[in-house]
A and B are shown apart, each in its own frame.
Chain A
Amino acid sequence: MKSRLFSGLLMLMLAVPAAGEVIHQERSLYRDITVEQNGPRRCLIFNVHRGDRNQTCIDLNEPERLVFSYTRMSFAGLLLNSEPESILVAGLGGGSIPMTFSDLFPDARIDVIEIDPAVVSVAKDFFLFEETANMRVYVNDARVFIKRAGLEGRKYDYIVLDAFTGDYIPEHLLTREFLEEVKQILNPDGVLVANTFSTSRLYDHESVTYQRVWNEFYNFKLPASGNRIIITRIGALPPRGDLTGAARRLAERVEKYGIPLLEYPARMSTRVDWDMSRRILTDQYSPGNLLRD
């Protein structure tokens, strides 16, 4: 009994990360936001009390380098479309994904959607995020923004869905109807990259839902990362040889961000590794937050 208590305490202590200095803290309508500085590394953390989740980190000495593997993985879509002219990023976080896009493609139009105005000001004040003539942030719900974009006939070459990393899962962004709306605003040669859940029952439900709407997709996982990235497009996926070729062409351009593009094609799989009998998520049935454990 005593030893269990002791080992429990030890686990607890080990689970607490090396504490940095908290340089900003606020409670927004949607979450608790903490900015922590640890040496040159500055991190944005949501809901710090409920198990640390680093949302975005930047290294102030090399701000263009992407610290997290899932952030780097979001650029694997370049293997399917390497010259996007219009980009949509749903979920700002610290802004590393849109800023990298802006740096890579200064002439592309980049729209960023973020529901929480507090996140926008924190990204600007602490994470060097800046809007430019071509890059704008819209404080809005992604579903509302995308539905309206569809009605207005706006389309994008590269769409990143990165709204799922917080503590609460926006259930209306997991459904078949939502993915159909996303499909409507994707150009015929465009690519969709979605950062999704790799653990829990939700993995199966999400996979069958994506499969229903997109037929097939690359399941992109790296051993070091707990994330699963879904990459897909309208119509058939390209043969793997095309991916490797694109990786070779692009690797040098993305090197300064720390994106190991050459390693990616081998990790992108179309193999079904989920339970196909799971129910698909719809606007009528989407209990994402109840399916997470």
Chain B
Amino acid sequence: MAKAANNSPLARPIVATVAFVSGFCIMTVEMLGARIMAPYFGGSVSVWGSIITVFMLALALGYLFGGRLSMRNPNALVFASFYVSAALFSLPIILFADAIMRPIFLAVEDARYGSLLASVVMFSVPTTLLGMISPYSVRLLVEREEHSGQMAGLLFFVSTIGSAAGTLGTSFYFVLWFEVNRILWGAVTALLIAAAIILVAGYMRGSLGLRVRGHEI
């Protein structure tokens, strides 16, 4: 299949849209983190401290890994796999939160370290995966060196706007309308839809990074 006129593996609006979704989902999960942990570790400032620390560290690692991965044949399939795996690794937050927090509560007397440990177990993997999206999406859009800063700026812009929207939507409205787990299912669904959009758009552009009978798809 011939490549589209534009050389990048995905069209700019597609990458911008899914970057928005990932920013949105990161903050939705982060805002709900305090609510999820309060029954075991309370509502003190240190619980927020644990959550934010873990999210920052996980994102930092994600940026590093995502950047590294973008060096080798950047393509839509790998990009979509970040969304799918982030969605899958978010499932334990919905399905096993109590099973994860109860033994930690029993083993760690100090709620500060208890909440830190619980945050690591529940949030570090999906957040790292979501962090990998940012540098990778920059690579997908950059065709020429001169444009790299502009593309990075655009993607930081949309994903941070997404984060702002996720924060506000979750804390102002979603918690008033829905149960915590339903909101999390919503985030998982949004990530999977983003992955589907990437796969369809990548297939149409022949940028999935696969070769079938000599053709790139």
Contacts and interface: CB of A to CB of B under 8 A. Distances in A.
22 contacts: A30-B45, A115-B44, A141-B42, A141-B111, A143-B43, A151-B106, A170-B43, A171-B35, A177-B39, A282-B179, A283-B39, A283-B180, A284-B180, A284-B181, A285-B175, A285-B178, A286-B35, A287-B175, A290-B172, A290-B175, A290-B176, A291-B176
Given A140-B111, A284-B181, A290-B176, A171 B38 contact: yes
Interface residues of B, number: 19
B38 A284 contact: no
Contacts of A141: 41-44, 111
B111 A172 contact: no
Chief secondary structure at chain A's binding surface: loop
A147 interface: yes
Interface of B: 35, 38-45, 105-106, 111, 172, 175-176, 178-181
Given A171-B38, A290-B172, 9 more contacts: A29-B44, A30-B45, A141-B42, A148-B105, A172-B38, A172-B39, A283-B38, A286-B35, A287-B175
A171 B106 CA distance: 23
A144 interface: yes
Given A147-B105, A151-B106, A140 B42 contact: yes
Nearest to A141: B42
A223 B131 CA distance: 56
Contacts of B40: 144, 147
Contacts of B39: 143, 147, 172, 175, 177-178, 283
Interface in A72-125: 115
Contacts of B45: 29-30
Contacts, number: 58
A283 B44 CA distance: 16
Contacts of A170: 43
Interface residues of A, number: 25
Contact of A171 (B41, B43, B172, B178): B43
Nearest to B172: A290
Contacts of A29: 44-45
Contacts of A172: 35, 38-39, 42-43
Nearest to B114: A144
A240 B111 CA distance: 43
Interface in A148-191: 148, 151, 170-172, 175, 177-178
Given A115-B44, A170-B43, A143 B38 contact: yes
A293 B39 CA distance: 25
Nearest to A178: B39
Interface in A210-269: none
A287 B177 CA distance: 9
**Which 9 pairs from chain A and chain B are nearest by CB?**
A141-B42, A172-B38, A284-B179, A144-B42, A287-B176, A287-B175, A284-B180, A290-B176, A285-B179
